[in-house]
């Protein structure tokens, strides 16, 4: 069980404060020994500007996108960061105000314009943000910083220069895609996003982007929709942040947090509203699990899996075993949208207030669900799951639906295991033992946790007044053991002489190998990638 630590000094407030970008990489002071084989770049995305023109951004996912890089070369480490030159950032800096509506912050017309031009600005329609603060990943030989809209931004992973804004709608029938694609060994990228289906109904499209071909063509030009999954509600798609993929199947979990499309279109055009204003909860649907085959790609409409209501942001892993699909998830119990508790005013409160707010929020739990593939010739009311190592159940009901109950792999009061990582190159879509996550203590990141999903044993790295980020697993070259490698995490220790550092942990024992400290605060980062 993960122990709880208190934060009465509220040092975590520093990770939600604006910083300046750097003119050039700065050298880090190294303690311990960095493995000689570890040479490459850790690239991370997150918010770096939390207000503009005296006007605050409201939500954790509103701050302007800042790209961070720790470079490891020949035993030396440098740190560099730059703001992404998105339209949202450039126009905000030019006009010294919020110009494009963000996730939880509405943009208002320019006060310098007269009443008529302000009126027409309101009715011009939706200007979608390109503020790509959530993640960065490769497509072909290029790297893209992303959020969850239809815009992604091509960046240079070496100079961190912003290269090009790309509209995915030019290539694919999607309104936006997640910031959590799946990538196969050959570089093929799969992702999911909602779209308009038949008769103006909503659906979810799984898209495929081929690897680089060796010619001059862009992989995005050859991208395509491979399968469409219907929405349970015609005009209210579920919020989707990630999905699962095994060797032969896609797993999509449709949660009861919904985007009200009519509210989205009307509220936006008439009054100042943000994306957050358009979310609502469906209190009757519970949670639906959908399956689709990969090759040939087809939606499995006969498999109707249902479960109690939960929020879902991150899949850990999914795999096939003896006619079942095992799906491991970081869940939050109930209908209430977790993002309602991630406004900056909440997470920057004093510690006792942060704790009070977290007690009202949905409670986190790592869960394992098991989906039977062979649902025919089975009797009603009987548990269809025959895997010996799990207590998860699946029961066929008279209406043809299969009710799923999970096995709980990790649970603690207001202690979340989130931002999960695995040995992706070796175990994605395969049976596995270990997951690595960021421990959230009443939503404040204060530990790194290793979880054995088979035995439920946990290991913890934690240090007083330290605030780590998502730990990325990098395997030791030629390793055969699943957890033979290191974890990389950016940690902030406010008040220290060098308050920001790259932490290198032994992934087997979760013990510190090295840290590379820099004399600058590093604001919160969300997701990232290691580039060898």
pLDDT in tens, 25-64: 999 999 999 999 999 999 999 999 999 999 999 999 999 9
Write down the pTM of the prediction.
0.96
Name the pairing type of β-strands 401-405 and 304-307.
parallel
Rg (CA), the chain: 23
| Model pLDDT, residue 188 | 98
Annotation: binding site for Fe cation: 180, 241, 314, 527
Query: Among residues 386, 373, 485, which one has the least CA distance to residue 427?
Result: 485
* Three-state DSSP state, 275: helix
CA angle, 246 then 248 then 253, to 5° = 55
- Whether residue 68 contacts residue 46, with contact meaning beta carbons closer than 8 Å, is answered with yes
- The pLDDT of residue 532 is 95
Give the DSSP letter of residue 238.
B
In Å, what is the CA distance from 189 to each residue of 29, 152, 206, 214, 530? Answer: 37, 14, 10, 16, 17
The pLDDT value given to residue 4 = 78
- What residues form DSSP beta bridges with 279? 259
| Residue ranges in the chain modelled with pLDDT below 70 | 1-3, 110-126, 197-200, 267-271, 377-378
Locate 34 and state its tokens. Answer: 């960095």
Q: What sign does the CA torsion over 354, 358, 361, 366 have?
A: positive
pLDDT at 118: 44
**pLDDT of 116:** 47
| Per-residue pLDDT, 235 | 87
Take residue 337 and report the two structure tokens written for it. Answer: 């949208």
pLDDT at 120: 46
Q: Are strands 500-506 and 257-259 parallel, antiparallel or unpaired?
A: unpaired
Question: Do the Cβ atoms of 215 and 221 come closer than 8 Å?
Answer: no
Which residues are documented as binding site?
Answer: 180, 241, 314, 527
Q: Is the dihedral of CA 419, 423, 428, 430 positive or negative?
A: negative
DSSP state of 97: S
CA distance 304 to 254: 12
The rounded distance, in Å, linking the Cα atoms of 258 and 521 is: 36
CA atoms within 13 A on the CB side of 317: 27
Q: Side-chain half-sphere of 334: how many Cα atoms within 13 Å?
A: 8
- Strand-strand pairing, 287-294 and 304-307: antiparallel
CA 197 – CA 201 distance, rounded (Å): 5
């Amino acid at each position: 069980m993960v122990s709880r630590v208190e934060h009465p000094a509220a040092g975590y407030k520093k990770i939600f404060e604006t910083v300046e970008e750097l003119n050039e990489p700065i050298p880090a002071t190294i303690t311990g020994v960095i493995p000689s084989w570890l040479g490459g770049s850790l690239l991370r995305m997150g918010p770096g500007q939390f207000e503009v023109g005296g006007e605050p951004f409201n939500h954790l996912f509103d701050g302007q996108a800042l790209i961070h890089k720790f470079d490891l070369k020949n035993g030396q480490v440098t740190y560099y960061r730059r703001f992404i030159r998105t339209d949202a950032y450039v126009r905000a800096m030019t006009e010294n105000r919020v110009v494009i509506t963000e996730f939880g912050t509405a943009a208002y017309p320019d006060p310098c314009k007269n009443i008529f031009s302000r009126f027409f600005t309101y009715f011009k329609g939706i200007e979608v943000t390109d503020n790509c603060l959530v993640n960065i990943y490769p497509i072909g030989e290029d790297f893209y910083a992303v959020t969850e809209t239809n815009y992604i931004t091509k960046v240079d992973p070496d100079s961190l220069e912003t290269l090009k804004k790309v509209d995915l709608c030019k290539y694919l029938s999607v309104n936006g895609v997640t910031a959590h694609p799946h990538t196969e060994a050959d570089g093929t990228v799969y992702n999911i996003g909602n779209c308009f289906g038949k008769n103006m109904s909503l659906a979810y499209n799984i898209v495929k982007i081929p690897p680089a071909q060796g010619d001059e063509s862009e992989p995005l030009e050859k991208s395509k929709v491979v399968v469409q999954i219907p929405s349970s509600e015609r005009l209210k798609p579920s919020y989707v942040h990630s999905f699962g993929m095994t060797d032969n199947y896609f797993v999509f979990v449709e949660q009861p947090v919904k985007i009200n499309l009519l509210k989205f279109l009307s509220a936006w055009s008439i009054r100042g509203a943000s994306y957050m204003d358009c979310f609502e909860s469906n209190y009757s649907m519970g949670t639906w699990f959908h399956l689709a085959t990969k090759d040939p790609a087809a939606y499995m409409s006969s498999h109707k899996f249902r479960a109690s209501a939960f929020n879902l942001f991150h899949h850990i892993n999914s795999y096939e075993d003896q006619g079942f699909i095992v799906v491991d998830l970081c869940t939050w119990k109930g209908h209430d949208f977790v993002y309602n508790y991630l406004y900056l005013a909440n997470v920057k409160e004093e510690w006792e207030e942060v704790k009070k707010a977290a007690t009202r929020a949905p409670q986190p739990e790592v869960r394992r669900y098991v989906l039977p593939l062979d649902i025919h010739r089975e009797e009603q009311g009987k548990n269809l799951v025959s895997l010996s190592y799990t207590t998860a159940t699946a029961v066929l009901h008279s209406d043809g639906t299969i009710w799923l109950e999970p096995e709980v792999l990790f649970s603690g009061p207001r202690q979340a295991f989130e931002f999960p990582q695995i040995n992706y190159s070796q175990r994605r879509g395969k049976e596995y033992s270990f997951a690595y996550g960021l421990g959230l203590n009443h939503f404040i990141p204060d530990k790194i946790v290793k979880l054995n999903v088979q035995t439920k044993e946990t290991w913890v790295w934690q240090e007083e007044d330290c605030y780590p980020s998502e730990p990325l697993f990098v395997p030791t070259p030629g390793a055969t053991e699943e957890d033979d490698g290191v974890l990389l995490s950016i940690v902030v220790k406010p008040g220290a002489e060098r308050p920001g550092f790259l932490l290198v942990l032994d992934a087997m024992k979760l013990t510190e190998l090295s840290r590379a400290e820099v004399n600058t605060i590093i604001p919160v980062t969300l997701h990232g990638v290691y580039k060898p």
